[in-house]
Chain A
Amino acid sequence: MDFLVLLIATGLVAGATYGLIAIGFALIYKATGVVNFAQGELVMLTAYIGYSLAGAFGLTFIPLLLVAVPISMAVGLVLERIFIRPMLGEPPFAIVMVTVGLAVILRGLIIVVWGSQPANFDAGIPTTVIRLGNVPFYPAQLIMIAALGLVVLAMWAFMRFSRYGIAMRAVAANETAALLTGVSVSRIHALAWVLSSGIAAIAGMLFAANFKLAPDLWFQGLKSFPAVILGGMDSIVGAAVGGIAIGLIESLSQGYIGEGMREIAGFIVIILVLMVRPYGLFGSRDIERV
């Protein structure tokens, strides 16, 4: 019984990570119709930026967030300006490929700047073990789960009440129509990148605090794909739920089946789910007319 509870607890933590990264994917996909293959690299880059900031100023977690998230957002804006904005109006495929190129560039750049040695990065979070009932957690793990909840809530409120959020939904629903009603589509695209980078920074720093900081962190982007797909690519709540589900499935399948199953369990699940619902659990179905 304890074993099961433990697996569920660790599954939730892993799932929260996937969820946070997946929300970054979903935001950009929703607003721009492009899967950002550099999302994992964005998570890694912002984590390294946080690492440098924490090292330089010796910040604890909350001040670090307050500094690192805005800087990461600015980085997101710059990347969007340089790499994505000039591609506006090109076929989505070409833009997706640009993000692949961007991923290659960021991976190299990070190693040139920070080196390839893995590093400890506690993100200013203490590492004393906290017990909730019988289950032990690291504080960074609890913060991860809390962060997922807060980000989902904030994004929901943003999409529901903010002028820009509504504009973003309009662009997602129909780009041309949104343009006609006076929404600046290019600004919305930039906004999606900015928000996505901010979320990437939270995900990246918390991931590094839990699992060390190394230049293979980008791989978590790929590992979050099942979560994005499971939730439906354009749904933020879906991404969060998908993340938690994949985290739990992975943890339980490793615990009870083993044999390296965790690393592919998520992928098996999405194949099965997509056979039933080809647009994910929460994704919107495209209505096509001929």
Chain B
Amino acid sequence: MRTGHLKTSPGQLVALSDSPAVWAWVGALAVGLILLPYLVGNYMLTLVVSAMAAVIGAVALNMLTGQTGLISLGQSGFLAVGAYANAILLSDYGLPVWLTLPAAGLTATGISLIVGVPSLRLKGLYLAITTLAFSFIISHIILYSEGLTHGPNGIFVKGARLFGYDVQRGWPLYYLALALTAGTILAALNLTRTRIGRAWIAIRDHDIAARAMGIDLVRYKLLAFAVSSFFVGIAGALMSLQLRFVNVDVFGLILSIEALAMIILGGMGSVAGAVLGAIFLSFLPEVLRIGFSLVTDPNSTFYTNYVYEIRGIAYGLVIVVFLRFKPDGLVGMWRDAKKYWSNWPLAY
């Protein structure tokens, strides 16, 4: 395994990766993902699409929380805005899906600026609670603006067609989700390498120092809100396409907390971490379900009485145990493994 990290030009420093091996693996992964609909069943595909929506959301949240250091508990609010914008434009106004998806993102961006401006002075958990407050207010507004959002009745999302294919089910939906996910990840990776990404990281590490270096805090913080919310909005739109129904109950607070858990479990501040964390937490319930059905009889009284709840407990336990032993997250684990290989047989 390669160990050298000698760089001779600034261009090399910001390259996405200088390792042919990494590119080869990414290529293999891409081929695997493209072939996936031929390899797995519909249920698996549904789970994968849900996971992809989670990945987009987590990568977006990572821009705001992981890279800029602005903790947000308002994820569910922005997901709801994106999903509702998509649903209303698609079902009530009959716009094509290639227009409604970016529109959903932009709507979320617009709302995020309203949230962002009063949040500029806040830090840490004060900010987190303020964003939480906004997500409560957003869901209240959705519930009470019946003319626009159909209030408590919710909206059935239908008529999303792309190149003649119905992109709300099966493999067309999967490929749409794949394209959106790949696009989001690429955008996030590229943003990290630009002036903007570096400004965000400087703000996270120390905002006063960043300001002293000439970084316009207002501008870059708002930019972080705007860009992050755009992608969260897209994630919400994707959720609404898959579910084919939106309602305020769909966007509970739990989504905000899960999104934070994803980026922390994955490894804060890293795009790969957000992706891994989202995949991990999305599939954890399924893994637990299969695990429990192997060790207990699903028809037994014990199962019907306790196992559903115990599965929930196990979910919490996995998070706790994981953080206890790997506080750097999945990415930290991967780094350790890599280090172990490169240094073997010497420990350090």
**Which A residues contact B (CB, under 8 angstroms)?**
29, 35, 37, 83, 86-87, 90-91, 93-94, 97-98, 100-105, 107-109, 111-112, 222, 225-226, 228-229, 233, 259-260, 263-264, 267-268, 270-271, 274-275, 278-280, 286, 288, 290
Contacts and interface: CB of A to CB of B under 8 A. Distances in A.
A104 B319 contact: yes
A108 B316 contact: yes
B118 interface: yes
A128 to B, nearest CB: 37
A37 B129 CA distance: 11
Contacts of A233: 125-126
Contact of A260 (B133, B140, B260): B140
B126 A86 contact: no
A290 B212 contact: yes
B319 A101 contact: yes
Interface of B: 118, 121-123, 125-126, 128-130, 132-134, 136-137, 140, 143-144, 206, 208-209, 212, 253, 257, 260-261, 264-265, 268, 306, 309-310, 312-313, 315-317, 319-320, 323-324, 327
User: SS class of chain A's interface: helix, strand, loop or mixed?
Assistant: helix
B310 to A, nearest CB: 7
Nearest to B144: A259
A178 to B, nearest CB: 21
A105 B317 contact: yes
Q: Which 8 A-B pairs have the closest CB atoms?
A: A104-B316, A267-B133, A101-B319, A108-B313, A105-B316, A101-B320, A108-B312, A94-B327
A104 B313 contact: yes
Contacts of A229: 126, 129-130
Contacts of B128: 35
Given A222-B253, A274-B118, A288-B208, 16 more contacts: A90-B323, A91-B268, A97-B261, A97-B319, A98-B320, A103-B316, A104-B312, A104-B319, A233-B126, A259-B144, A260-B143, A263-B136, A264-B137, A270-B133, A271-B133, A278-B122
Given A104-B313, A108-B316, A290-B212, A267 B123 contact: no
Contacts of B144: 259-260
Contact of B133 (A94, A103, A268, A290): A268
Given A94-B264, A260-B140, A267-B133, A107 B312 contact: yes
A104 B144 CA distance: 31
A190 B76 CA distance: 33
B126 A278 contact: yes
Given A112-B310, A290-B212, A105 B133 contact: no
B315 to A, nearest CB: 6
A225 B312 contact: no
A267 B77 CA distance: 14
B250 to A, nearest CB: 18
Contact of A274 (B126, B137, B265, B316): B126
Nearest to A275: B118
22 contacts: A97-B319, A98-B320, A100-B260, A101-B323, A102-B320, A105-B317, A105-B320, A108-B316, A111-B309, A112-B306, A222-B253, A226-B133, A259-B144, A260-B143, A263-B136, A264-B133, A270-B129, A271-B133, A275-B121, A280-B126, A288-B208, A290-B208
Contacts of A274: 118, 121-122, 126, 130
Contacts of B133: 226, 264, 267-268, 270-271
A267 to B, nearest CB: 4
Contact of B323 (A97, A104, A268): A97
A282 B287 CA distance: 46
Contacts of A93: 264, 268
A108 B319 CA distance: 14
B134 A271 contact: yes
Contact of A279 (B126, B313, B316, B320): B126
B210 to A, nearest CB: 10
Nearest to B209: A290
B317 A91 contact: no
A101 B320 CA distance: 6
A271 B261 CA distance: 25
A93 B65 CA distance: 11
